Every structure is written in structure tokens, then in C-alpha cells.
């Protein structure tokens, strides 16, 4: 059951799966934060920047000190970050 103002973090969310999942979650009124290092200079989520329920953080999941501070801010974490062979 969805809680009001539920906050979701999608790591690696600028990739293909994240770019499909993000609008679906936004349509269901979730507060979505995408964290991605933009290794391949993706712009797939740029049109969501005007949505007040969307936030983008340019960072790397391997930055342990940053992630340790950031993770407690979310109700749900969807781990999609990975290094792939092609964008």
C-alpha cells in the first residue's frame, strides 16, 4: 500500500529502465529522485525537471560517504546503477 508522499530513489535512473520507470512512478504521485553519474550524457529525463515530484542528483553510487548520508532520506530504493557496454 502506497503511503502519502512516499519518496523513491532510483540509482542509475537515467538509463533505459529508469527512463521508463520514472514517468510511471510520477504518474502514480510518488516523489521520485534519480541519482545517476550520467556516464553516457543521457538526457532522457530532462522533460521531468519541471515536475515538482521529480529531483535529479548527479552523483556516483560508489561515493560511499555521499550515499551513506543520502539513503536514509528515502522510503524505497530501486538499484539500477551498473556499468554497461553501450549506452
User: Where do the structural domains in the chain lie, given as residue ranges?
Assistant: 7-79
**How confident is the model over 22-78, as pLDDT tens digits?**
999 999 999 999 999 998 888 889 999 999 999 999 999 999 999 999 999 999 999
The residue that leads in pLDDT, 20 or 1, is 20
Q: What is the pLDDT of residue 57?
A: 98
- Rounded Cα–Cα distance for residues 67 and 45 (Å): 21
Judge whether residue 87 has pLDDT over 80.
no
Superfamily classification of domain 7-79:
NAD(P)-binding Rossmann-like Domain (3.40.50.720)
Judge whether residue 1 has pLDDT over 90.
no
Q: What is the pTM of this model?
A: 0.90
- Rounded Cα–Cα distance for residues 68 and 65 (Å): 5
Amino acid at each position: 500500500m502506497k503511503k502519502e508522499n512516499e519518496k523513491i530513489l532510483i540509482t542509475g535512473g537515467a538509463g533505459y529502465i529508469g527512463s521508463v520507470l520514472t514517468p510511471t512512478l510520477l504518474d502514480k504521485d510518488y516523489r521520485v529522485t534519480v541519482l545517476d553519474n550520467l556516464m553516457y550524457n543521457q538526457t532522457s529525463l530532462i522533460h521531468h525537471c519541471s515536475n515538482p515530484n521529480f529531483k535529479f542528483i548527479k552523483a556516483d553510487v560508489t561515493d560511499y560517504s555521499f550515499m551513506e548520508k543520502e539513503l536514509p532520506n528515502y522510503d524505497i530504493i530501486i538499484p539500477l546503477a551498473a556499468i554497461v557496454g553501450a549506452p
